[in-house]
Each structure stands twice: as C-alpha cells, then as structure tokens.
Amino acid sequence: MTTTEIRIANRLAEIGKVADFVDEVGRRHDLSERVRHDVGIAVDEIISNIIHHSHRDGAEHGILLSLTLHPGELHAEIVDDGPEFDPLAYQAASPSGSVKERTLGGLGLHLVTSLMDNVRYVRMGDSNHLTLIRRTAEDDASERRSEALLSVTVENGATIATIGGRFDSSVARDIRDRLSKRIAAGTTRMLLDLHRLEYISSAGFWSLLAVGREIEATGGRLALCGIEGEAERLFDLSGLSELFTICESRSAGLEALR
C-alpha cells in the first residue's frame, strides 16, 4: 500500500497543482489514462466545491489530498476543516441551468458518484474526510460492448455519435471515454443521435453531462437528436432535458451546431 499526499490552499488557482499531482501519481504507478482522467475529474469537482462553499471567513485554509494505491483500487481522500457536511446525505434538487454548472451535492456529486466505484464520508474531529474509490483494473468486456453500441461518423465538419441499445453503468464509462478522446483530438461540434437508444440509466445521463461539460470547456457545442419512446420518457423523468440542446431530427441537430 503506497500513499502520496499534497496540501493546497483554498484558492482556485491551486487546483492546477492537484490535477498535475493526480496525473503524475497515476503515471508513476502505470494506471490507465481512463483511471487518471476519472479520478482527476472527481477530485476537481470536490475540491472546487470546498473552495466555493466551505469557508465563509475569508481566511486561508488548507485542503489535503491523499492518494493511496490498494490492490486493484486507487483511494483519493480529501480532508478539509470546513463545517461538517456529508455530501452523500444531501438531497439534490432537479438539475437546471448550464451543463457546466457546479452545485455542491447536486450535478457535481452526481458526476463524481458516476465516475467512482465508491464514495465514503466521515467526520473526524474538526475535519471532513471524503474518500473516492476507483477500481484500477479495466473491464475488456465492457469496452467491447461499448464499441458495439457506439458508432461515430463525421458530416459537414460535425462529429455524429450514434448510441444504441442499453446505455447503462456497464458501458457508460467506456462510451464517455471514447467521446472524450474525440473532444481532446479537436472535435468542437458534436451531435449525439439517440434514435437507436432503448434505455438510459443515471450513469448514462451523467456520462452525457460529462461529455457536454468537456466540449463546452473548449468553446464547442453539443446537441442531441432522435430521443423517442422509452428514452424520451426517461429524459423527461430525470429533469435533465433542459440541460441539453435537443432536436427532433439529425438535420435539425446539425443546423443547431452551425
């Protein structure tokens, strides 16, 4: 068991140090790009929320991040001296506003719990301890299944990703990772065609939100089309429809991306 730590001040300018730290530790221990990416996003969400919401006194406070490598798992423990707050007990309101909004216990926490395999909270003395757990072993079967459910083409300069079948937790991480690689490679206009979608779980929703945040961060645009039947019902029940640009057809979606 190996533990590495970094301590930062509660300033947004310090978050870059955390991202570099997570990536460096992951590379040192030969963790996959996907594991490093997932843990980096989750840690960023939690520490950003601590900086934004935890302290109201204007003073400088420390935030400690410890990365511990266990057999088959990476544990990221975040410790802060703010008021007691268990984000796992927070009842989030229905998401609203921009895809890239961060709300403590809300959209950000949903993304964290989708990316991680387990999240634990405990109050110890005067400190909050939140532990994020991510498996380090990849599931080849899930990756093969995600490849069968996702097809990507390019039309008029826009990337069209068609997702079909059951978009659930067994494939959500892999599909998100494949779309994220497209964005990292320079995609700035992406249309998600969901006309073949049979079912989408919460993990699928949060994967779409993560992709939306990534492409918005580059100044790009994301649109969805072809949502019908059971998928449409689930989008409506989730309350997430308002977070996306949703078009009735592929042609309308491409027009919305111009």
Cα separation, 143 vs 147, whole angstroms: 6
Question: 212-234 burial, b if ≥16 CB within 10 A, otherwise e?
Answer: bbbbeeeebbbbbbbbeeebeeb
**Total length of the chain:** 258
Scanning the chain, the segments in alpha helix (DSSP H) are: 15-28, 33-53, 107-115, 140-149, 169-184, 202-217, 229-238, 250-256
pLDDT, residue 129, reads 97
- Nearest CA among 2, 7, 84 for reference residue 47: 7
pLDDT, residue 141, reads 52
Please, are residues 179 and 160 in contact by the beta-carbon 8 Å criterion?
A: no
- Nearest CA among 74, 81, 87 for reference residue 29: 74
- Nearest CA among 190, 81, 170 for reference residue 130: 81
The reply to whether 2-135 and 140-256 are identical in fold is no
Each residue of 93-142: pLDDT tens digit? Answer: 445 455 544 443 455 677 688 778 899 999 999 999 999 999 998 655 55
DSSP state of 42: H
CATH homologous superfamily of 2-135:
Histidine kinase-like ATPase, C-terminal domain (3.30.565.10)
First-residue to last-residue Cα distance in the chain: 51
pLDDT, residue 174, reads 85
Please, are residues 25 and 67 in contact by the beta-carbon 8 Å criterion?
A: yes
pLDDT, residue 242, reads 80
pLDDT, residue 103, reads 42
- Nearest CA among 16, 1, 5 for reference residue 77: 5
Each residue of 19-29: pLDDT tens digit? Answer: 899 999 999 99
pLDDT, residue 142, reads 54
Q: What is the token pair recorded at 244?
A: 């996306």
Pick out the chain residues at pLDDT < 50.
Answer: 93-94, 96, 100-105
Query: What does CATH list as the number for 140-256?
Result: 3.30.750.24
Please, are residues 6 and 17 in contact by the beta-carbon 8 Å criterion?
A: yes
pTM for the model: 0.61
pLDDT, residue 102, reads 41
Per domain, the residue ranges of the chain are 2-135, 140-256
pLDDT, residue 104, reads 38
Residue 118, SS3? strand
Cα separation, 80 vs 51, whole angstroms: 10
Q: Beta-carbon neighbour count of residue 98 at 10 Å?
A: 12
